[in-house]
Amino acid sequence: MSWKPAVLRNTFHHSRYADPRRLLELKRKSGLSISLAFPTLNEGETIGKEILVLKAELMERFPLVDEIAVIDSGSTDETRTIAGRFGARVFSSRDILKAYGSYRGKGENLWKSLFVLKGDIIVWIDADISNIGPKFVYGLVGPLLERREIGYVKAFYERPLRSVSGITASGGGRVTEILVRPLFSLFYPELSGLIQPLSGEYAGRRRLLERLPFSVGYGVEIGHLIDIFHQHGIDSIAQVDLDRRVHRNQPVAALSRMAFGILNTFLNRLERYGEAHMLRRLAAEHIALAARGGSYMVQATAVPANERPPMIAIPEYAARFPPEAQAAYAPAT
Amino acid sequence: MRGKLVVRLAGIASALRRFLARRRSSRVRRRTGHHVEQYIDRLISDAIQFNEIPSPTPREEQRAAFITRRLSELGVSNVNEDKEGNILVQLPAAGPTQESVLLFATVENEDYSPLESLVRLSSERASGKGMAGNSLGVAALLVLTEYLQSGAAAFKCNVSLLFTCLKGAGVTGSALERYLDRRTDDLRAAFYLTGTPLGAVARDPVGTCRLAISVRTRDRELFASGGASSAVSVLSSIAHQLGGIRWDAADNTFLNVARLEAGAGYGNFAAEGVMELEIFARDTGRLETSRDAVLATTRSIAQRTGASIRIETAGLIPAGDAELRRPLVEALRRVHSQLGIRSRPASRPDPTALLNARGIPALSIALTTGRKTFREEYIDLPPLESGFQQLLLLLEAVA
């Protein structure tokens, strides 16, 4: 097969952006500001290091990033104290845009972060990375500073898993390979060129992100990709190789719930864009079975499928970031 | 509810400790005139990033790449690398002089583990294998370069900063010794930077000889009777016999079994193993005599059990020269007193004795407190500012 997904043309290695002075010059010329945010829920083990390393390197030594914030979902460990200690602005998700209520989920934190962050470029990084380094940020920001037509950049990497027995050399990305890649291959072959479409590290231009609806739960990443593909085309998406990311392993039961949330968002998008039609209402609960004492117990878990509207539709946001102040993101054609 | 209360109380205690540390630091800053607080997070950040780079690798190339990239980012042009892996930065004195002060740190981490060397950071500690050792020393040299590059201090002597390696010291020749063989400058003093323990002053360090004893016995089925002794039996027998040796001067010689590893786990006969030993002695002559005794005992046990054995001398560091070190010891104590650091004598081995043996006054300096045990290794973050100030004041005193 000679066809290649177009996104492979927008695939870079982080080393392309390793010269901080070059990036600073690109930033200065563009006049853009950059915000970095971590969505957190009980990440006291790793959040301190992530903030310290990225702040020391990319705010103090080389001022590429203008602010670092943590959007917390109600951690009961020391996440908030540690984040504040190492210099991040710490927000409680439920205190942001209070009038709009609050959901629990990573997507909710990302959506609300758009309201409190000030930057023109937003970088989101998961808070459970054990081997954090500056490349996680400059790798994602680089294509946005270098190429105006790119509006959204996703990370991909080798994914060794951190477990009690040490680091497993390969693995991870199971939901991608078993669920998302087949779905993309069937419905959106253009997006199948994304190596890790579910990676938790990505960056985008505010003017693009504010026009996206946000799934509050697991579907936020896949929702973004399909929406951006429809709204701006595949050439607005890039991906960056960050080499290696060490993170916690997730049990299969958790991955199953994650897959449920992702599939829910995916089917929702198919319907929204007129690409498929659901003949029945989708169930709201993920059902698992557990064997106990010779019989099987049903474990039903509600997986949030709620969606937030594009942030630009929120009047408080529009007042804070007036649409006329900067044109909407429009990729070069 | 109770959990939340505990977290909150811990948070208050931690904030109080940080407040007290900040107050102490600001007093120190007023006294010393060095405002280094903004450099401390960079110091921790560099130590973390460096600690997570795999080691050992050939010529420690990955770690060296981190150092040279950082130096290049800082705009340091006077960087020399040699084929042994030494990286030298020379910062010239305010005026013309041939005299230099050397600060050096070692880049290798023999305990590196892909999992355990990933650093975890709490408000007050950084934990991970290697953090209490070399990583902080390397980071301190890099941040010191950054601080001096900013023009914050100038000295009458040239200041040389060396990133080197101690592997094979005193035996096959380490990268540090190769550098010392070739240097042409007039070294007034030298300091070795390491992680912990802050306040320790090695006035009269003992010498050390490190041995690695590898044992291999014949493999056999677990339940076979009358076969070869296992490597575990042979190594524990060696350790037991060596523990019973009567040294000529018991208070001046000491033997430490540093590590003992054998076997391939459950279900396997332990046919292979390794033991790391170190002998400490007050003078180099005793060190060599003691080493000969250890070698003879070990070989005799191996012969008796039929095990094949290989003994390697992994390192030999002579005892330090107390007289040569005295002016630096006094200067360091004055600095400790000025900064409120609790100064205490330590007589453990010190790599700077390799420089003493060449007539160079030299001393080790640690940057913070911390702990290294079988299960955990960490450094404390609050004392780092005092630890870094200590370097600057010491440089002012001798350079």
Are A44 and B122 in contact (CB < 8 Å)? yes
Q: Hey, is B59 helix, strand or coil?
A: helix
| Number of Cβ pairs < 8 A linking chain A and chain B | 69
C-alpha to C-alpha distances, B89 to B36, B188, B364, nearest whole angstrom = 21, 17, 19
Q: What is the pLDDT of residue A171?
A: 42
Chain A touched by B118 (CB under 8 Å): yes
Q: What is the pLDDT of residue B26?
A: 64
Structural domain boundaries in chain A: 7-167+193-248
* Averaged pLDDT for residues A252-264: 92
Q: Hey, is B38 helix, strand or coil?
A: helix
Q: Decide which of A114 and A333 is more confident.
A: A114
Asked if B34-204+320-398 and B207-317 have one fold, the answer is no
Assigned superfamily of B34-204+320-398: Zn peptidases (3.40.630.10)
Q: What is the pLDDT of residue A248?
A: 67
C-alpha to C-alpha distances, B144 to A174, B66, B179, B327, nearest whole angstrom = 45, 16, 21, 23
A14-23, A200-209, B223-232: the lowest-pLDDT one: B223-232
CA distance A204 to A150: 9
CA distance A195 to A8: 9
* Averaged pLDDT for residues B115-144: 94
Chain B touched by A46 (CB under 8 Å): yes
Q: What is the pLDDT of residue B23?
A: 65
| A134 preceded by a cis bond (ω within 30 of 0) | no
Q: What are B244-261's pLDDT values in tens digits?
A: 777 765 567 888 898 899
Could you please state the CATH topology (level 3) that the domain comprising B207-317 is classified under. Alpha-Beta Plaits (3.30.70)
CA distance B301 to B299: 5
Instruction: Return left, alpha or beta for A235; rule: phi > 0 is left, psi -120 to 50 is alpha, else beta.
Output: alpha
Q: What is the pLDDT of residue A247?
A: 66
Nearest to A246 by CA among A329, A152, A159: A159
CA distance A36 to A123: 5
Burial of B4 (0-12, 13-18, 19+ CB in 10 A): exposed
| A197 preceded by a cis bond (ω within 30 of 0) | no
Point out the residue among B11, B38, B49 whose CB comes nearest to the CB of A53: B49
Q: CA B251, B253, B257 angle in degrees (round to 5)?
A: 120
Q: What are A143-178's pLDDT values in tens digits?
A: 999 999 999 999 998 865 555 555 454 444 889 999
Q: Phi/psi of residue B296, each to 5°?
A: -65, -45
Nearest to A43 by CA among A95, A94, A98, A88: A88
Statement: residue B113 has pLDDT above 50: yes
pTM (2 d.p.): 0.86
Give bridge partners of residue B273 from the DSSP assignment: B215, B262
Model-level ipTM above the cut of 0.95: no
B94-116 residues labelled b (16+ CB within 10 A) or e (exposed)? eeebeebbbbbbbbbbebbeebb
* Averaged pLDDT for residues B374-396: 93
Q: What are B31-76's pLDDT values in tens digits?
A: 667 788 889 999 999 999 999 999 988 889 999 999 999 999 999 9
C-alpha to C-alpha distances, A250 to A170, A206, B117, nearest whole angstrom = 14, 31, 22
> Do the Cβ atoms of A192 and A5 come closer than 8 Å?
yes
A284-314 residues labelled b (16+ CB within 10 A) or e (exposed)? eebeeeeeeeeeeeeeeeebbbebbebbbeb
A143-147, A229-233, B173-177: the lowest-pLDDT one: B173-177
Nearest CA in chain B to A78: B7
Statement: residue B217 has pLDDT above 50: yes
Taking chain B, what is the end-to-end CA distance rounded to the nearest angstrom?
57
Nearest CA in chain A to B40: A56
**How many CA within 13 A on the CB side of residue A141?**
32
Give bridge partners of residue B247 from the DSSP assignment: none
Portion 3-22 of B in contact with A at CB < 8 A: 3-4, 7, 10-11, 14-15, 18
Q: What are A190-225's pLDDT values in tens digits?
A: 999 999 999 999 999 999 999 999 999 899 999 999
Q: Hey, is A147 helix, strand or coil?
A: coil
> Do the Cβ atoms of B196 and B102 come closer than 8 Å?
no
Give bridge partners of residue A184 from the DSSP assignment: none
**How many CA within 13 A on the CB side of residue A264?**
24
* Averaged pLDDT for residues B289-318: 88
Assign B385 a pLDDT band (cuts: 50, 70, 90). Answer: very high
Chain A touched by B214 (CB under 8 Å): no
**% of residues, chain B, pLDDT over 90:** 53
Instruction: Please give, rounded to a whole number of angstroms, the shortest distance from the CA of B36 to a CA of chain A.
Output: 13
Q: What is the pLDDT of residue A170?
A: 43
Q: What is the DSSP string of B136-152?
A: HHHHHHHHHHHHHHTTS
**% of residues, chain B, pLDDT over 70:** 89
> Mean pLDDT score of chain A, rounded to an integer?
91
Give bridge partners of residue B284 from the DSSP assignment: none
Point out the residue among A81, A82, A246 whose CB comes nearest to the CB of B118: A246
Q: What is the pLDDT of residue B150?
A: 85
Chain B residues closer than 8 Å to A49 by CB: 48, 119-121, 126
Strands A67-72 and B158-164, sheet pairing: unpaired
Portion 72-111 of B in contact with A at CB < 8 A: 73
Assign A10 a pLDDT band (cuts: 50, 70, 90). Answer: very high
CA distance B119 to B48: 6
Instruction: Count CB-CB contacts under 10 A for residue B269.
Output: 20
Instruction: Count CB-CB contacts under 10 A for residue A57.
Output: 26
> Do the Cβ atoms of A114 and A209 come closer than 8 Å?
yes
Instruction: Count CB-CB contacts under 10 A for residue B202.
Output: 25
Could you please state the CATH topology (level 3) that the domain comprising A7-167+193-248 is classified under. Spore Coat Polysaccharide Biosynthesis Protein SpsA; Chain A (3.90.550)
Statement: residue A21 has pLDDT above 60: yes
Q: What are A42-64's pLDDT values in tens digits?
A: 999 999 999 999 999 999 999 99
Chain B touched by A170 (CB under 8 Å): no
Portion 40-79 of B in contact with A at CB < 8 A: 41-42, 44-46, 48-49, 52, 69, 73
Assign B104 a pLDDT band (cuts: 50, 70, 90). Answer: very high
Assign A251 a pLDDT band (cuts: 50, 70, 90). Answer: confident
Statement: residue A283 has pLDDT above 80: yes
Q: What is the pLDDT of residue A327?
A: 64
Are A56 and B120 in contact (CB < 8 Å)? no
Q: What is the pLDDT of residue B245?
A: 74
> Mean pLDDT score of chain B, rounded to an integer?
88
Q: What is the pLDDT of residue B172?
A: 83
Token pair of B41 as six digits:
């997070």
> Do the Cβ atoms of A23 and A144 come closer than 8 Å?
no
Chain A touched by B115 (CB under 8 Å): yes
**How many CA within 13 A on the CB side of residue B162?**
25
Q: What is the pLDDT of residue A5?
A: 83
Structural domain boundaries in chain B: 34-204+320-398, 207-317
Instruction: Return left, alpha or beta for A58; rule: phi > 0 is left, psi -120 to 50 is alpha, else beta.
Output: alpha
- Strand ranges (E), A104-234: 121-124, 152-158, 161-163, 166-168, 202-205, 214-215
Nearest to B53 by CA among B118, B101, B2, B5: B118
Q: Hey, is A283 helix, strand or coil?
A: coil
Q: What are B67-95's pLDDT values in tens digits?
A: 999 999 999 988 999 999 999 999 988 88
Chain B residues closer than 8 Å to A52 by CB: 41, 44-45, 48, 121
C-alpha to C-alpha distances, A296 to A84, A260, A323, nearest whole angstrom = 46, 21, 55
Residue type, position B179, single letter? Y
Indicate which of B36, B118, B146 best probes the interface with A, i.e. most A CBs within 10 Å of its own CB: B118
Spacing of C-alpha B194 from chain mean position: 5
Give bridge partners of residue A70 from the DSSP assignment: A38, A90
Token pair of B389 as six digits:
């100030």
Point out the residue among A21, A76, A246 whose CB comes nearest to the CB of B7: A76
Instruction: Please give, rounded to a whole number of angstroms, the shortest distance from the CA of A58 to a CA of chain B.
Output: 11
